Amino acid sequence: MVKICCIGAGYVGGPTMAVIAFKCPNIEVVVVDISVPRIDAWNSDHLPIYEPGLDDVVKKCRGKNLFFSTDVEKHVCEADIVFVSVNTPTKTQGLGAGKAADLTYWESAARMIADVSKSDKIVVEKSTVPVKTAEAIEKILMHNSKGINFQILSNPEFLAEGTAIEDLFKPDRVLIGGRETPEGAKAVEALKNVYAHWVPVEQIICTNLWSAELSKLAANAFLAQRISSVNAMSALCEATGADVTQVSYAVGKDTRIGPKFLNASVGFGGSCFQKDILNLVYICECNGLPEVANYWKQVIKINDYQKNRFVNRVVSSMFNTVSGKKIAVLGFAFKKDTGDTRETPAIDVCKGLLGDKAKIDIYDPQVSKDQIQRDLTMKKFDWDHPMHLQPSSPTSMNKVNVVLDAYEAAKDAHGICILTEWDEFKALDYKKIYGNMQKPAFLFDGRNVIDADKMREIGFIVYAIGKPLDQ
């Protein structure tokens, strides 16, 4: 029986390994992590992450060929293939601070693999890493290997949170990069055989290591760029009377462009887009390509601009001040169908409103009060001036309430901000909500999920991203 061990039981390691175990009953999969609470949660009825379909897959395999453990060294030692899916955040200190990927978790995982291994292994980069990371990993492994052979593969993950299980079951492609040597080719073949249990072979792309590593950064940069492009267009729509939904539809009908990922919004979030673009910017700068670096940096600048623009619109619409006014924030996760709040635009929007002395009541179906409190009191790193290390001041929480439903959040509020596109926000009884709000009642749709005209009929003053403005 082939044995797989995955280091890192997070948003990627957990679901990815659960699907491998589900699709490959002849493979034993152990997911290991240094976090005891995380592993305890994976072994309980309350999994540490919310993902549609995940519970079912885990329940079907756990205890059969899928295991979660904190005994990292034992399971790494026993494995034939070791996936490394640890976090690779942006460095906050030292050389490259504010842009470069922090590879300390990766390096310590690699040193541990070299240390405990007693047999040859395939080591798979599952985390998103800078191009050429495999070279560094090879050095660490080879210099500490005691004669054991390690083959490094790059197998970046393209799943999107909220649709992770669907994406893993039916991936657009699986990408495997390896060394162009006979041993490298053998390792690629071994990993290909794992995915071939359910992925059509023509969808498994094999490349050299550097192409695979760079493709992941490029894919995220292209996706984020599409969002910033349509968001930049949304500002122009508001200035001219065009409607961004109509523009996106017309543009997306061109088969060369396509309709996906063209929704204007308050901005992108999530743990990956910003960090991966910053990483790309750093790599470009290190390779003497400042113009290319500046091009990609603009994607993040537009995203920040969009979040600020939203806050400014809320404040200016409400007679230039929200001081002492209650604002209901519907949605805090960075997108629907996840409880993940990493880099969610809601953090910046809430902080912006609090900066103008608003009182805010927040409701999100999947994000806990503790998480929201942590996010809003966390100091924000200043990416533009990393060497100055001037974090913005943490939020005082006495103006923030986290409540259990949208109606409670909106009661007596002066305005509502929809910041996550949860389906349930489309089905709310807005007549009832309007009846319980201060007047005039404002509705700011940061995701374009509600029918603005119907809301106007009810009596709301509506602002929707990239749409003609109410007079």
Among 82, 109, 299, 350, binds ligand NAD (CB under 6 A): 109
Give the phi and the psi of residue 347 in degrees, each rounded to 5.
Answer: -60, -50
155 binds ligand NAD (CB under 6 A): no
- Does the annotation place 87 within a ligand binding site? yes
33 binds ligand NAD (CB under 6 A): yes
272 included as an active-site residue: yes
- CB closer to ligand NAD, 88 vs 448: 88
The alpha-carbon radius of gyration of the chain (Å, integer) is: 24
What element of type H or E holds 316?
A: helix 290-317
Residue 280 Cβ, how far from ligand NAD at the closest point, in Å? Answer: 13
Among 88, 151, 265, 341, binds ligand NAD (CB under 6 A): 88
CA separation for the pair 232, 20 (Å, rounded): 40
Choose the binding region for ligand NAD from 86-94, 221-229, 446-454, 455-463 (rule: CB under 6 A): 86-94
- CB closer to ligand NAD, 7 vs 360: 7
- CB closer to ligand NAD, 165 vs 315: 165
- Does the annotation place 178 within a ligand binding site? no
Token pair for 6: 């995955």
Q: Which residues of 434-458 are buried (b: 16+ CB within 10 A; e: fewer)?
A: beebeeebbbbbbbbbbebeebeee
What element of type H or E holds 125?
A: strand 121-125
Q: DSSP characters for 257-274?
A: T-STT----S---SSSHH
Choose the binding region for ligand NAD from 156-164, 294-302, 316-324, 418-426 (rule: CB under 6 A): 156-164
Choose the binding region for ligand NAD from 56-64, 83-91, 185-193, 364-372 (rule: CB under 6 A): 83-91
Give the phi and the psi of residue 164 in degrees, each rounded to 5.
Answer: -60, -45
- The active-site residue out of 24, 77, 272, 417 is 272
Give the Å distances, CA to CA, from 369 to 52, 176, 231, 336: 21, 40, 30, 17
175 binds ligand NAD (CB under 6 A): no
3-state secondary structure of 255: coil
Active site residues: 272
Give the residues lining the site for ligand NAD (CB under 6 A): 7-13, 32-35, 38, 72, 85-88, 105, 108-109, 127-128, 157, 159, 161, 271-272
Annotated binding-site residues for NAD(+) read: 8-13, 33, 38, 86-90, 127-128, 161, 272-275, 342
